[in-house]
Structure 1
Amino acid sequence: MTRVLGVDACKAGWVGVLRTATGVTAFVAPTIDLLVKQFDPLDVVAIDMPIGLPDTAPRQADLLARAAIGRLSSSVFTTPVRAALQAPTHSEAVLINRELTGQGLSIQAYGLRAKLFEVDEWIGRATTRVVEVHPEVSFAYLAGAPLTVRKSTWAGAERRRALLAAAGISLAGELGLAGLAVGVDDVLDAGAAAWSALRVAQGEAVSLPNPPEVFADGRPAAIWV
């Protein structure tokens, strides 16, 4: 029985959508390690978080993801270089990132550093295959074309929920998430990640780029869909 997990960050920590042959369930945990342990054993974990931090230039994965989703490309942020994320302040990070890549660094991207490094450390000891995804890329592939309505709108959320349901990821009911700090967009994104994880497990997925890039950290850097 194939068991895959899609993961997205949320205010409470991390939300995961588990997809098995018998259905879909969800869970929230404060750390990625605790989340994955709730569902072991797993065939694939797909996470909406950069894997493979660049050294001196933008990742091809980010550039290709923007091209794949078109109008909503602003949802893909350029992954900072590792040295910039290690800087103790945002201002220092901006200087380092600009020196190495020619680009600045938003406060939002710098604010993800704790979760980025949490995932980076966890992958080093994970026993399950872990891949990076971007939900809007997954939704574009599900729909056969880039979506044009944001998931923060009612129509956008319903469109994405319908796409997932048609693909066997039914996000109906409370899913055990009542009372938790998990947004609609978080659950939709974790569901999209679960769909891509299933494609990886079944050998149907493609990577952007193909083959993945590899930086100094040795992690294959690609978005899978």
Structure 2
Amino acid sequence: MDACAGGWLAAFVPPGDGTVRLRVFRRFTDLLEAVERPGLIAIDIPIGLPERIGRGGRAAETAVRPLLGARQSSVFSTPARPAIYAEAGWVPNVDEMLAAHARASEIARATSDPPKGVSIQAFCLFPKIREVDEVLRTEPGVARRVFETHPEVTFWRLNGETPLGEPKKVRGQPFGRGLALRRKLLATAGLPAGALELRAPPGAGEDDVLDALACAVTARRLRAGEAVSYPNPPETDPFGLPMAIWM
């Protein structure tokens, strides 16, 4: 499952050779209530939020970032919980968003050592991080079947544990060679036939489809007991949520 412009893009991959389905959900809770009833979810969003952050973010991020070579900037440093919860919800306009970003950065600097603010790109993910965190903290049954992953780490594994030489995007736009490389790697991952021919549904882009399928690859490995966590064993946050990236 991957965040996208329309909310969340889920790639439903059944056991065996069943048909893969792509669906966009406006909210994370909509997925949990979907007719597909996923038994296990691998999602590209930080899970587990500490009260303070050290250099480089959580241990999960500092563990996987060196693996990715030139792609390591795709793993952003998750700030502390107080910074992520500095605002209660979406902000309605640009001026208020910039003011909210400044407040969150101030709190992030106060809860990190060395002090570090947050980028506007990371700040724009905070509502989605809160959305998942609020569910997992209050519903232990759901938390037990939701795992954090990162598509670029999955692509690194599929590439023979070698950093990828091409980015997915250049200057914010899809990059053909990078998308083609990731599609080629997914073709080796044992997904059901037809998965790579699926078109992006409204609210999602081609890069979102590839990332959602990469998450599904990790979900299959989790189901088979083959996935590994970074760090191993996972750390936990004050609410008992694991802080680890699985692949």
Q: 1:103 is paired with a residue of what secondary structure?
A: coil
Partner of 2:9: 15
In structure 1, what is the Cα distance between the partners aligned to 2:35 and 2:177?
32
In structure 2, what is the Cα distance between the partners aligned to 1:154 and 1:132?
27
Partner of 1:183: 205
Distance 1:197 1:39, change over 3 A: farther
1:156 is aligned, of 172, 178, 181, to: 178
- Kindly provide the amino acid, as one letter, of the partner of residue 131 in structure 2: E
Superposed CA RMSD in Å reads 1.6
Q: How does 1:20-35 map to 2 (within 5 A)?
A: 20=14, 21=16, 22-35=18-31
- Give the gaps of 5 or more residues in structure 1: 1-6
2:146 is aligned, of 120, 127, 130, to: 130
In structure 2, what is the Cα distance between the partners aligned to 1:156 and 1:162?
10
Partner of 2:96: none
Shift of 1:71: 0.9
Contact 1:48 1:133 in 2 (8 A): yes
- Give the gaps of 5 or more residues in structure 2: 88-99, 170-174
Contact 1:139 1:163 in 2 (8 A): yes
2:130 is aligned, of 117, 142, 149, to: 117
Q: 1:38 is paired with a residue of what secondary structure?
A: coil
Q: Within the alignment, does 1:166 sit opposite 2:165 as a pair? A: no
Shift of 1:113: 1.3
Contact 1:94 1:105 in 2 (8 A): yes
- Kindly provide the amino acid, as one letter, of the partner of residue 117 in structure 2: G
- Kindly provide the amino acid, as one letter, of the partner of residue 137 in structure 1: V
Give the alignment's TM-score, normalised by structure 2: 0.83
Contact 2:12 2:38 in 1 (8 A): no
Contact 1:80 1:109 in 2 (8 A): no
- Kindly provide the amino acid, as one letter, of the partner of residue 13 in structure 2: R
Number of residues of Structure 1 aligned to a counterpart in Structure 2: 217
- Kindly provide the amino acid, as one letter, of the partner of residue 50 in structure 1: P
Shift of 1:106: 1.1
In structure 2, what is the Cα distance between the partners aligned to 1:36 and 1:195?
19
Partner of 1:44: 40
Q: Within the alignment, does 1:104 sit opposite 2:112 as a pair? A: no
Give the alignment's TM-score, normalised by structure 1: 0.90
Shift of 1:63: 0.9
Shift of 1:80: 1.0
Any runs of at least 4 consecutive aligned residues in structure 1 with deviations exceeding 4 A, and if so which? none
